[in-house]
Amino acid sequence: MPAILWAFVASVVALWGVDVATTGAGAGSLPWVLREQGLYLSGLLSIALMSLAMVLATRPAWLERPLGGMDRAYRLHKWAGILAGVFALLHWLVEMSDDLIKSLVGRAGRPPKEEFSGLLENLRDAGEELGEFAIYLVLAMVLLALWKRFPYKFWRHLHRAMPALYLMLAFHAAVLAPLDWWRQPLGLAMGALLLAGSAAALLSLSGRVGRGRQSHGQVVSVARPAPDVTEVLCRLDGDWSGHRAGQFAFVTFDRFEGAHPFTIASADRGDRTVSFQIKALGDYTRSLPQRLAAGMPVTVEGPYGRFQLERHDRKARQVWVAGGIGVTPFLAWLAALQADPASAPRADLHYCTRDAGRDPFVERLRGLCAALPAVRLHIHDAAQGEHLSADQLGAAGDEQRRRAEVWFCGPVGLAEQLRAGLARYGRFRFHQEAFEMR
């Protein structure tokens, strides 16, 4: 889980602590006071994290630099949503605990309920009912997000309901929060979060997320370099401002299906053409060869991402590792270097493939690297029992006695194996896109 998320949670807890220290925890016996404050804190954390998740869902490009890329913003969005669901469940359990406390210590010492009348009382009643209804749906959404076997094509449509559910819960939080909060720093912070989250939810419901970074165009060609890979070349209109090698974009071929993230596999040639190498990983990507044809419209939103060649450390030994379709950003890197081979850094490119004899990217990599003497290509063919290990990378580093940085794109399991193994060598900095949007 991202460290920034724990810092966010700690900040919210600190604000709640300041409020308790300033205004007191309330009158009543200890069990009832603990229940009341547990109810407030769990609800506060849940709606704060939901607000954060809603803002991140709008794909704010200005957060790419501080967060390290839109892929990490999406990872933060995912974990903020999951953690919000956990605190929402805790909030519900604390709410349901009153019968248990009554059976243990009785009603004596229960803090008196705040009395309201008129419009505020009606709003609080409505907020309570809406909140209870929405929380069940939010918990169901979190469970479906964690259940990887639930089809993505169904989940993504259900996920579109989250902005409406958020607005229900934001209303619930606003009308049921203790009135004392609004006179404290906690109330100001909560108000800002609710306003930001509500604005993001309305932006999402209106279908305007990412619209300012969208370019329209046409599919130029569709090819199948391998049975499970679809190559799509697109030409975009004048709104496309270009991209940096290694970035990705959200691509829409079908409005009902919506946008899907794909790495741009080509260098920017200045002619507003972009190509994508799309692996058949689900029902939608498997059907693309039958769905797409030259001349069809396409919408590309972006570019996004910080997996860029120019961000490499010029003083560190370069180790580039690609696994399977993770080769796509490196294809763009190598293509971009063709215009000025002398600018290529000295690097070892390791490509891990299941069967080099049937892999169309092997010959493409060899052709690109042939023009770049500084880049040494290493093919690891699983069909021949050749598997890349951290010890291979570490041993090469021992020979050169230099710090190194690894740029990795490929299967998560391979990344974890290499990262854990390289920790023993101590001089490796590991760059990896968190390219998991669910």
Residue 400: per-residue pLDDT: 54
Domain boundaries 3-205, corresponding CATH code: 1.20.120
Residue type, 160: R
Burial (CB count within 10 angstroms: exposed 0-12, middle 13-18, buried 19+), residue 310: exposed
The tens digit of pLDDT for each residue in 121-143 reads 778 778 788 888 888 888 888 88
DSSP labels, 253-321: S-TTT--EEEEB-S---SSSEEEEEEE--SHHHHHHHHH--TT-EEEEEEEE----GGGS-TTSEEEEE
Topology given in CATH for the domain delimited by 311-432: Rossmann fold (3.40.50)
Angle at which helix 30-57 crosses helix 185-205, to 10 degrees, equals 40
Rounded Cα–Cα distance for residues 302 and 264 (Å): 10
Helix (H/G/I), strand (E/B), else coil: 432: strand
Rounded Cα–Cα distance for residues 405 and 208 (Å): 38
Rounded Cα–Cα distance for residues 423 and 171 (Å): 47
pTM of the model: 0.87
* Rg (the chain; Cα; Å): 26
Rounded Cα–Cα distance for residues 211 and 218 (Å): 18
Neighbouring residues of 151: CB distance < 8 A, sequence distance ≥ 6: 282, 283
Cis? peptide before 345, omega within 30° of 0: no
Which residue is listed with tokens 């939103």?
301
In this structure, the strands spanning 297-304 and 248-252 are antiparallel
Residue 436: per-residue pLDDT: 64
Query: Hey, where are the domains in the chain?
Result: 3-205, 211-304, 311-432
209: alpha, beta or left, given left = phi > 0 and alpha = psi -120 to 50?
beta
Closest CA to 429 of 337, 351, 272, 318: 318
Residue 379: per-residue pLDDT: 97
* The pair of three-digit structure tokens given for residue 176, joined into one six-digit string: 């049921």
- For residue 252, the tally of other CB atoms under 10 A from its CB is 18
Helix (H/G/I), strand (E/B), else coil: 403: coil
Residues of the chain above pLDDT 70, percent = 95
Closest CA to 320 of 399, 376, 363: 376
Closest CA to 307 of 402, 177, 406, 389: 406
Residue 117: per-residue pLDDT: 53
Rounded Cα–Cα distance for residues 209 and 294 (Å): 27
Residue 177: per-residue pLDDT: 87
Which residue is listed with tokens 């290499």?
418
DSSP labels, 13-72: HHHHHHHHHHH-S-SS-HHHHHHHHHHHHHHHHHHHHHHHHHHHHT--GGGHHHHTSHHH
* The pair of three-digit structure tokens given for residue 74, joined into one six-digit string: 């999406």
* pLDDT-flagged residues of the chain (< 50): none
Angle at which helix 185-205 crosses helix 162-176, to 10 degrees, equals 160
Residue 382: per-residue pLDDT: 94
Burial (CB count within 10 angstroms: exposed 0-12, middle 13-18, buried 19+), residue 258: middle
Domain boundaries 211-304, corresponding CATH code: 2.40.30.10
In this structure, the strands spanning 229-236 and 273-279 are antiparallel
